[in-house]
Structure 1
Amino acid sequence: MENQIFNIPSKLPIYNAKLNAVGIDLGTLECCAFVVRKHGPDGVVLDEFTAQRTLPSNMNLSQLNFCYGQIAINRMDINAQFSIFDIKQLLGKTFNEIVIDPLWPFEVVDYGNQISLTCGKFDEETLIFGTSTALCSVLLKFMKQKIEEYQGTILSEAVITVPSSFSEKQKEATIEAAEIAKWKSIHLLPEPIASAVAYSYEIEIPNRSTFLLFDCGGGTTDICIAKVCDNRIKIICDNGDLFLGGKDFDKLLINYFNSVLKHMYEVNVLETNKKYRLMIKCREIKHNLSTYENDKLDVDDFKFDDYSDIPITRNEFEDMATDLILRAKNLIAESLRNAKFTSANIDTVFQVGGGCRMPMIKKMLKDMFPNAEHKCSIHPEELVAKGAALYSYSLKNETM
């Protein structure tokens, strides 16, 4: 993506809502969708259970009742064999290219030139849910339905974002999944560009300034160094890690609490279906430690009639995450070297993705770029979809 140039869409006082501009962030852990209405980008409520604009990328595909988002997460405790998640990490890959996660309730099998997922039993027969592309299309189809309900019309065109580190095969698989979901016209947009477009809508980025965009999502981390010149974004360097994201911080907590439960309470949660409950609880604790200095795990969630708890502090969590933070720092340093820059060349650091809510991420960025201006949106996890919708609007507006 280096040396590519993208126009920054003009911010308008009034938008033409009839253009039905749609932007979709198909995330590893959460999905988000925005449309452009009269007064600008507007988030679509995707999760029926929580009424939130972000939808956990979880599906429960029991033959009796398909469900998506938070309900699918809640059912993992009792119905884990029908659960699908982390599908984006499998999209467009062969069997030899993936890393099996022991928390997956499904089995990944080699299916010719791509992979297939098998899980669950119905009438004692194993269900073969299909390829990663086909399963991704199920999620995209559900999102399409929710966006159409919100817009009150049938839609056929969307901008879908992808990590800058996605291979051509992964991009092709994303397009194929969208086509199966009945999106007829699909435009792929790198996630860092979508985020930069969203920030340009929220604030005025000075002309001839250089920015670094750090996007820590649920499954991946993207870095983009770019210059703004005459209302255009010129990419100088982009970099990414497909195996560094919020879920890696979750795993630190999962392993820690499971170790304590195993040695102090004689409960090995990772050998039971309660490992999904632990996964959910650890994600909540991670979020809480971004706001509070300490939190705890209730033991009675995993061992009947034991009302003790396992405390944890933010400092302890940050100590666990030292290696992950080092990986992120090395990724930034590599990006600066590729761009032939130093930290002094960066005027602004834009923070994107839910991972940027963690104080340790903010501190790392501030330490590495002490003289830069640091910007983090109120809803950093929505920026990618928001920027994609604005970019979609600019594409549609050009064809008018």
Structure 2
Amino acid sequence: MFVQSHLSSINGLNGRSQIKFLFNENFNAIEISERGFSKMLKDAFGNEWNPLYLSMAQATVEVGKKAKTDHEKFPKYVVYDVLKVIGKPLNEIKIDPKWGFKLVEKDGIIYFQIETISGPRLFPQEMIIAAFLKSMKLQTESILNVQIKEICISTNFKLNESQKAIFEKAAEMNFLEISGFDVL
């Protein structure tokens, strides 16, 4: 199998493999590239692309499909459309009336206000992105059976410097280094 036959190079020993965390609209995915070949990793349900949703409706944070399901019953507990928000000033963000979460500006910083089982809480943007990166890191490490330290971030639009800084802080929270940013 492609993925398991190239563990040493994916772990960064020869510098030719690359782990890309892909973000496209309200979905994320993981791609492993080596020697001109790419492979999308699949989750336990066989999905390559997962919903970019985060839920605080339970005692533990949920991301992906489970969080999207939570959104139907508990919209105030779920964050999505994060790529439309992060790294932008409040006056540039188009607030969707369907959002159950709120955006709160404090000292020039935009926070997501989300309902939790303990009441409403403010979360910085990098914390939300960190939750997605953590999930993607754990999935990658579980499938490849290696620890990853370096990733590339690909989005469906060019990130501004503020957005890159948020991704970098989120990666740091997960002991990851971002080797580069590119556009899908």
Does residue 1:91 correspond to 2:86, yes or no? yes
Does residue 1:150 correspond to 2:143, yes or no? yes
Aligned to 2:13: none
Aligned to 1:138: 131
TM-score (norm 1): 0.40
Aligned to 1:22: 19
Identify unmatched segments of 5+ residues in structure 2: 11-17
Letter in 1 for 2:8: K
Once the two structures are TM-superposed, the CA of residue 17 in structure 1 deviates from its matched residue by: 4.2
Q: Is the 8 A contact 2:20 2:30 kept in 1?
A: yes
CA RMSD of superposed structures (Å): 2.2
The higher radius of gyration belongs to 1
Aligned to 1:56: 51
Once the two structures are TM-superposed, the CA of residue 118 in structure 1 deviates from its matched residue by: 0.9
Match of residue 78, structure 1, among 67, 73, 77: 73
Match of residue 45, structure 1, among 42, 46, 54: 42
Match of residue 177, structure 1, among 170, 175, 178: 170
Match of residue 32, structure 1, among 26, 29, 38: 29
The CA distance in 1 between the partners of 2:6 and 2:41, in whole Å, is 17
**Aligned residue runs from structure 1 range 296-311, under 5 A:** none
The CA distance in 1 between the partners of 2:156 and 2:62, in whole Å, is 26
Q: Is the 8 A contact 2:141 2:148 kept in 1?
A: yes
**Structure 1 pair 74/181, CA: closer, same or farther in 2 (3 Å)?**
same
Q: Is the 8 A contact 2:56 2:114 kept in 1?
A: no
**Structure 1 pair 162/54, CA: closer, same or farther in 2 (3 Å)?**
closer
Does residue 1:189 correspond to 2:181, yes or no? yes
The CA distance in 2 between the partners of 1:134 and 1:27, in whole Å, is 19
Q: Point out the structure with the larger strand share.
A: 2
Letter in 1 for 2:105: D
Aligned to 2:158: 165
3-state SS of paired residue (2:94): coil
**Structure 1 pair 45/102, CA: closer, same or farther in 2 (3 Å)?**
same
**Structure 1 pair 151/120, CA: closer, same or farther in 2 (3 Å)?**
same
Say how many residue pairs are matched: 173
The CA distance in 2 between the partners of 1:41 and 1:180, in whole Å, is 27
**Structure 1 pair 132/28, CA: closer, same or farther in 2 (3 Å)?**
farther
Letter in 1 for 2:9: L
Q: Is the 8 A contact 2:114 2:121 kept in 1?
A: yes
Does residue 1:106 correspond to 2:101, yes or no? yes
3-state SS of paired residue (2:74): helix
Q: Is the 8 A contact 2:26 2:51 kept in 1?
A: yes
The CA distance in 2 between the partners of 1:86 and 1:164, in whole Å, is 14
The CA distance in 2 between the partners of 1:19 and 1:155, in whole Å, is 11
**Aligned residue runs from structure 1 range 160-239, under 5 A:** 160-183=153-176, 185-191=177-183
Letter in 1 for 2:100: P
Once the two structures are TM-superposed, the CA of residue 120 in structure 1 deviates from its matched residue by: 1.2
Q: Point out the structure with the larger helix share.
A: 1
Identify unmatched segments of 5+ residues in structure 1: 1-14, 192-383, 385-400
**Aligned residue runs from structure 1 range 385-400, under 5 A:** none
**Aligned residue runs from structure 1 range 275-294, under 5 A:** none
Letter in 2 for 1:165: K
The CA distance in 1 between the partners of 2:58 and 2:175, in whole Å, is 22
**Structure 1 pair 121/53, CA: closer, same or farther in 2 (3 Å)?**
closer
**Structure 1 pair 51/61, CA: closer, same or farther in 2 (3 Å)?**
farther
Show structure 1 runs of 4+ deviating over 4 A.
none
- 1:231-281, Cα deviation, whole Å (9 max, x unpaired): xxxxxxxxxxxxxxxxxxxxxxxxxxxxxxxxxxxxxxxxxxxxxxxxxxx
Letter in 2 for 1:88: L
